[in-house]
């Protein structure tokens, strides 16, 4: 039986948040969604088992969010998604421990595989 992992989704696009939330729930995970990095950070006293975050967001982007979480000592797996990938950004977030750097739109099979790998749950792959 798969553990009841909690996945946090941070994305400023409501449609993306809703579709990702539906997909992740269908994969059997609990989901919490946040419209911005500040909302997620305000709820960080109850950390998720994995974070899915957009990169391009107003106020604080995914790169800055990762740096802030690491500075706070958070070590849960982080998966980044962007419609505007760059090699520099990919290298930076991966060097700091990101589990994946995905290009939007992300298909369900890729998301399922990345979550399973990030959580160490290879039975669902």
Task: CATH number of the domain at 119, please.
Answer: 3.40.50.2300
As given in the structure block, the two tokens for residue 43 are 């709820």
3-state SS record for the chain: CCCCCEEEEECCCHHHHHHHHHHHHHCCCEEEEECCHHHHHHCCCCCCCEEEEECCCCCCCHHHHHHHHHHCCCCCCEEEEECCCCHHHHHHHHHCCCCEEEECCCCHHHHHHHHHHHHCCHHHC
Report pLDDT for 125: 39
The answer as to whether 91 is a domain residue is yes
The answer as to whether 65 is a domain residue is no
Report pLDDT for 44: 72
Name the residue range of residue 40's domain. 6-59+80-105+112-124
Total number of domains in the chain: 1
The answer as to whether 10 is a domain residue is yes
Report pLDDT for 1: 43
The answer as to whether 68 is a domain residue is no
Total-model pTM: 0.93
pLDDT tens over the chain, length 125 residues: 456 899 999 999 999 999 999 999 999 999 999 999 999 999 977 899 999 999 999 999 999 999 999 999 999 999 999 999 999 999 999 999 999 999 999 999 999 999 999 999 544 43
């Amino acid at each position: 039986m798969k553990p009841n992992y909690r996945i946090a989704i941070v994305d400023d696009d409501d449609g993306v948040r809703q579709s990702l939330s539906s997909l992740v729930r269908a994969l059997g995970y609990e989901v919490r969604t946040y419209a911005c990095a500040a909302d997620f950070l305000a709820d960080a006293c109850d950390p998720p088992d994995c974070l899915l975050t957009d990169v391009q967001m107003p106020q604080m982007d995914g790169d800055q969010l990762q740096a802030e979480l690491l500075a706070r000592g958070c070590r849960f797996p982080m998966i980044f998604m962007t419609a505007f990938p760059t090699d520099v950004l990919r290298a930076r977030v991966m060097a700091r421990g990101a589990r994946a750097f995905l290009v939007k739109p992300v298909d369900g099979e890729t998301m399922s595989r990345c979550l399973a790998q990030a959580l160490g749950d290879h039975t669902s792959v």
